[in-house]
């Protein structure tokens, strides 16, 4: 068996991502990615993360919105925060690589098949997931053909 490792960018457009609008003044799962069977991922300290978030009418306020990323087991009973919580202003840069947020985990975090990577948001308004988006860099590990 040959294993292939490649850079992978997770975004809301991935077919394995489910999205749900957020609830005002509560931590809400906005995007939930369940790792497909036969694939695993690794989140490393240098991997980058960016997001753009909107509530019902416009971009959220930078000072009122916070975000974190969690890795959960298949049953979602065991959770580990791998990023944040941070203020929205820290993660909204996509272009300037000197300003893009990095995960900054102390060591690589393996994410096994059927586990979840979840973007969780807290804001004083309800997040509109369909008008928001994100990009999370990671490594994908899978069996080569």
Number of domains in the chain: 1
DSSP string, the chain: --EEEEEEEEETTSTTEEE-PPPTTS-EEEEEEEPPTTEEEEE-TT-EEEEE-B-SSSBPPTTT-EEEEEEE-TTS-SEEEEEEEEEGGGT---S-TTTSEE---SS-EEE-TT-EEEEEEE-SS---GGG-EEEEEEEEEEE--
Residue 1: what pLDDT?
64
Residue 96: what pLDDT?
87
pTM: 0.93
Express each pLDDT in 52-91 by its tens digit: 999 887 899 768 899 999 999 999 999 999 999 999 999 9
Domain hosting 54: range is 3-143
CATH of the domain at 95: 2.60.120.1170
Mean pLDDT, 10 residues at a time, the chain of 145 residues: 89 96 95 96 97 90 88 95 94 88 93 97 93 96 78
């Amino acid at each position: 068996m040959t294993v292939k490792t490649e850079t992978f960018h997770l975004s809301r457009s991935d077919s394995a991502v489910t999205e749900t609008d957020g609830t005002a003044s509560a931590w809400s799962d906005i995007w939930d990615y369940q790792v497909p069977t036969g694939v695993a991922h690794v989140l490393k300290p240098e991997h980058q993360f960016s997001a753009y978030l909107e509530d019902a009418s416009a971009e959220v306020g930078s000072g009122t919105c916070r975000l974190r990323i969690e890795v959960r087991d298949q049953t979602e009973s065991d959770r580990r925060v791998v990023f944040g919580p941070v203020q929205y202003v820290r993660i909204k840069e996509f272009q300037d690589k000197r300003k893009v947020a990095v995960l900054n985990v102390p060591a690589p975090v393996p994410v096994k098949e059927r586990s979840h990577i979840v973007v969780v948001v807290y804001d004083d308004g309800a997040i509109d997931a369909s008008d928001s988006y994100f990009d999370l860099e990671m490594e994908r590990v899978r069996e080569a053909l």
